[in-house]
Each structure stands twice: as structure tokens, then as C-alpha cells.
Amino acid sequence: MPYETQSQWNEDELKKLNRAALLKLHKPYLAFIIFLEAVFVCGLVVSALIRSGTLMAEFAVLLVALPLVLVLVTNFRVKKEFRSSKLLQTTVSVFRFHEDRLESASDRGTAFVRYDELYRIVETKTNFYLFISKGQALNVIKANCSEELIAFLHEKSMKK
């Protein structure tokens, strides 16, 4: 103790963050999308039962188009956000994890955050996201972490 790792944002990391936020923090939004997809499936089934080829085609297009458009728009937004921010592109952050707080240091400065001040810690297969608020997170890449740090952050994530 303390554990240390470093991280830098790129487009793929931002896409992973958006996916994790959708699955872990924005469940009502995800539930609404699933509901719409279920409505489209029901519409497809009903249109097949009444033998309406045009209606079947319309529901099939909606069924495929909604998730496709959402993915395309999200990816476009991530690319635009990343490319417009020199700060995201160039900052390498070094994180030091102490028992009661984390320290984030870069060439732009140093910040300290107590774990109880974090909004949420989300763990995925490849990352930990330390959410400062519902829309802002620090990215900890597991591939850059020791096994001890991964275990430490996993324990912290279970408490949040």
C-alpha cells in the first residue's frame, strides 16, 4: 500500500465507459429500449398473423434500425467528444490508491478523492470506472494493474 497504476483515455476506452454507464447507471433508459424492441417484435408477430407483408417489413426495419442507430449515434458522439478534447487525448493520469482515498496526478495537477465521496465504482471485465458523478468517471484499466490493486478495487466496488 499504496497501489499505483496509470491510465490514458482513447476512443475505445470512451466507448467502453459509455457501455458500462448504460448497463450499470442508466437502467431506465436501457429498459425503455428493450420495451420498444419488445413492441416491435410483437408488431412483427401480429403483422405475420394478419399476413401483412408491408407491416412486417416496417416492424422488421424498426427492430433492426433502433439499436443500430443508437450504436452509430453513440460512436459518433464518442469520436466527436474525444477528437474535440486535447485534454483527453494527451493526459496520462497516475492513480495512487491509499486505504481511505485515491490520488490522481498528471501534468495538469493532483487531486485527492476519498472513496466515500465517489458516486459509484463500476467494474467491468477490462476496467474500473470511478464515477465522481453520474456523468464523469476516472478510468482504471485492469491490464495496467497488479492483482493486489484489482482485488482492492473489487472490494471497494462491492461497497459502493
pLDDT in tens, 38-69: 999 999 999 999 999 999 999 999 999 999 99
Domain ranges of the chain: 3-7+91-159, 15-84
**pLDDT for the residue 160:** 67
**DSSP assignments along 53-86, one per residue:** HHHHHHHHHHHHHHHHHHHHHHHHHHHHHHHH-H
Rounded Cα distance between 73 and 77, Å, is 6
* CATH tag for 3-7+91-159 (out of 2.30.29, 2.30.30, 1.10.1040, 2.60.40): 2.30.29
Rounded to two decimals, the pTM is 0.84
pLDDT in tens, 114-148: 999 999 999 999 999 999 998 899 999 999 999 99
Residue-averaged pLDDT of the chain? 94
